[in-house]
Each structure stands twice: as C-alpha cells, then as structure tokens.
Amino acid sequence: MNCLLQIAAVLTIAFSLLTAIDVPSRSVELFCHFRLQYFVVALLLAIVFAMLRNWPWAAALLLLTVFNSTFIVSWYLPVANAVAGTEQLKLFHANVYSGNRNYTQLIKAVDAEDPDIVLIQEVTQEWVAGTQALLKDYPYAYLEPRDGSFGIAVYSRIPFDSVSHIDSPPLDHPTIVARITRGGKPLTIISSHPTVPLGRFRFEARNEQLESLLQLVTDASGPVVLTGDFNVSVWAHRYRWLVASTGLRDARRGFGLLPTWPTMFPVAMIPIDHVLVSDDIEVLNLKTGHRLGSDHLPLVVTLSL
C-alpha cells in the first residue's frame, strides 16, 4: 500500500510541475487542464501520509498542495471591475451537444434564467426544429446549423444592428458576430467553437481558429463579449495567449473556476467554456446553469454596460 501511495505521489508531483511550464506544447497542454484535480489529490495524499506518520512525503505533498493552490485561488478573489453602467445584459451560453435530444430542457432552462440573449453551440437542423419555441420570446435570431458538432446560433430579444457569421479558418467552422446597441453604446458579441485539439492537426487547427478571433475583437468598435466552448482550459498556454493578445478578461475572475465539461465524469470536470469581456464591461454575476442533457454545463452571465 505504501508503495502504491508513493507512486501516486510521484505522478502527482510530476504532472503538477510539468504542466506549470508555460510552453505551447500539445503534450503538456493535454495534462495542464487538471490543475484542480492535482490540487485535490495532493491534499488527500498529504493527509494520508500524515496519518501514516510518513512526514517527508506528507511535507512534500503539502508543499505541492500549496503550489497547486496558486493556480486556483486567484479565480475566487475579488477583482477590480469596470464602473457599473446603467444598462444590464444577461447572456446564456450553452454547448448543447449535437447528439442530445433534450430540447425541452434547454427551453426550460432559458425560461428559468430569462436572459436577454441565448448563444447555442453544436446546433444541427434537429436542434433548430426542436427549439422553435425560443422564437416566441427571442424573435431576433441568427441560425447557422451544421451537420456534426460545429453549428451555431444566437437568439435575442434585442434587435441586432447587424449579425452574420464567418467561416473561421482553417476548418470553416462558423463564428457568429452580432452587434447591438445597449444604453446608447455599441456592443459586439462574438461566439465561436474551435475544434477538439486531439492529434497534431486538430491541435493546430484549434489554435488557428483562436488566433482568428483576435482580428474580430480588434475590428470591433466599443465593448466586446467573446463567448464559446474554446476547447481549452484557463491553465493552457493558448488560453493565456488569447487573453493577453485580445486584452479581454475572463468573466470567471472573482466567481471561481466553474468547470463546465465533461458532465458525465464530474471528478474530471474542467473549465473550457468561456465568457471574455472588455475592460469597459462590469461582470455582475457568472454561474453555471443546470444540466441540459449535454456533456457541457451552460454559463449564465450578467453584465453591466
């Protein structure tokens, strides 16, 4: 038993330290998403070794727990925010999973949250047909369903100044760009869903689509909201690049990690769905919504402009 515990400790130490290296490596990124799990495992192992009075291992795992906590605690600390505006805007983002058929669960969740704008990913023709009821309360809609997992849609009760999509490079997955006016100010909302980075080709394809978002953010006038299942967690090099290059901030800050995927394996859940906002937007609240039958939890964010 002691030998198995030491093997578990060595692996936890190795993965914790290796994934702390900020390099654009596909192999490192594969394991960097589980920082919260490394923290929990290190803490549990430290407790077990302390109970066994194996003090050297207990001390090492306690230090590792503190090390991993430095990647986690900051997400829960209050952050300086933009000055609250007079206009509030509530967004509901959900990757509904294209194979999911629980259309009524999404409609009920939207009714319960009562957002101003609903952004849906993995939209197929079946999802368009199954969610027709949304059009009653959200008459302004732009739908770009696709076969497979990369269709996308936006439903709004606020008229669009303009709304369209681009076929993002390199795989032509659609990204929606919607512009509205709120409180006399223009607001650009971008929703994108890069591919799953499995294998070198898809890893590079996901990165290229994330890079293409920089130009969309740069071209926007006024405040910007960027949402989506980016298939990258907050601890990945490519995520840090996206935040630094766009100048946007993650709405999670101050509200916690809020893991969103995979719902079928809760102990392994990681934060890969994101809402990023420009500095002139205050985040009043961010939370995960109830399960929709998807492998993702939705994100519900309330903003002040």
pLDDT, tens digit, 9 for 90 and up, residues 189-232:
999 999 999 999 999 999 999 999 999 999 998 999 999 999 99
At residue 254, φ and ψ (nearest 5 deg) are 95, -10
- Structural domains of the chain, ranges and CATH numbers in brackets: 2-71 (no CATH), 88-304 (3.60.10.10)
Token pair 């330290």 in the structure block, residue: 17
Residue 193 has a CB neighbour count (10 Å cut-off) of 26
pLDDT at 209: 98
Rounded to the nearest angstrom, the gap between the alpha carbon of residue 278 and the centroid of all alpha carbons in its chain is 16
- Establish how many alpha carbons lie within 13 A of residue 72's alpha carbon, considering only the half-sphere containing its beta carbon: 19
pLDDT per position as a tens digit, 84-93: 677 999 999 9
Q: Give the mean model confidence (pLDDT) for residues 242-256.
A: 97
How far from chain centre, in Å, is Cα 217? 17
**CA-to-CA distance for 119 and 210, rounded, in angstroms?**
18
- The tens digit of pLDDT for each residue in 32-83 reads 999 999 999 999 999 999 999 999 999 999 999 999 999 999 999 988 776 6
Q: What percent of the chain has pLDDT over 70?
A: 99
Q: What is the pLDDT of residue 131?
A: 96
30 touches 23 (CB < 8 A): no
Q: What is the DSSP code (8-state) at residue 160? A: P
Q: How many CB atoms lie within 10 A of CB 275?
A: 23
d(CA 167, CA 179): 18
How do strand 88-95 and strand 117-121 relate by DSSP bridges? parallel
